[in-house]
Amino acid sequence: GPKVLQIPSHQIIDMGQMVTLNCDPVSNHLYFYWYKQILGQQMEFLVNFYNGKVMEKSKLFKDQFSVERPDGSYFTLKIQPTALEDSAVYFCASSPGTGGAWEQYFGPGTRLTVL
């Protein structure tokens, strides 16, 4: 089936540094998402992106977070600066459009460890 790729699979950085998580969504999909899952807890919505703009963001999407998809390349989540509580697995998802906007395909996740 359709696949979403995420790069890297693991990232270890020091607190205060910047990190960029990359997502290669399913081609022709129009909606893009980031979710955060802290170990042992449920996955939570961070942000949704469509037509070059953030449509909705949760309270977890702090001011230090930003997303973009320049020229149809990777959909990225940037955290600058990082904090200890940002350690989690971040999942990217994409969905095709208004008819199937709810049908989101997830990547395998990027495990971020902030030291």
Partner 1 sequence: GDSVTQKQGQVTLSEDDFLFINCTYSTTTYPTLLWYVQYPGQGPQLLLKVTTANNKGISRGFEATYDKGTTSFHLQKASVQESDSAVYFCALVDRRTNAYKVIFGKGTHLHVLP
Contacting residues toward partner 1, per CB under 8 A: 4, 31, 33, 35, 41-45, 48, 50, 55-56, 58, 91, 93, 95, 101-109
Comparison of 31 and 74: residue with beta carbon closer to partner 1:
31
The pair of structure tokens assigned to 66 is 């930003």
3-class SS string, 24-60: ECCCCCCEEEEEEECCCCCCEEEEEEECCEEEEECCC
Cα(103)–Cα(23) distance, integer angstroms: 17
In this complex, which beta carbon is closest to partner 1, that of residue 68 or of residue 81? Answer: 68
Backbone angles phi, psi at 70, to 5 degrees: -70, 125
For residue 101, the minimal CB distance to partner 1 (Å) is 4
Q: Which helix (H) or strand (E) holds 12?
A: strand 10-13
Tell the smallest beta-carbon distance from residue 27 to partner 1 (Å). 17
Q: Which amino acid is at 109?
A: G
**Shorter beta-carbon distance to partner 1: residue 81 or 103:** 103
Query: C-beta of 18: minimal distance to partner 1 in Å?
Result: 24
Question: At its nearest, how many Å lie between partner 1 and the CB of residue 112?
Answer: 15
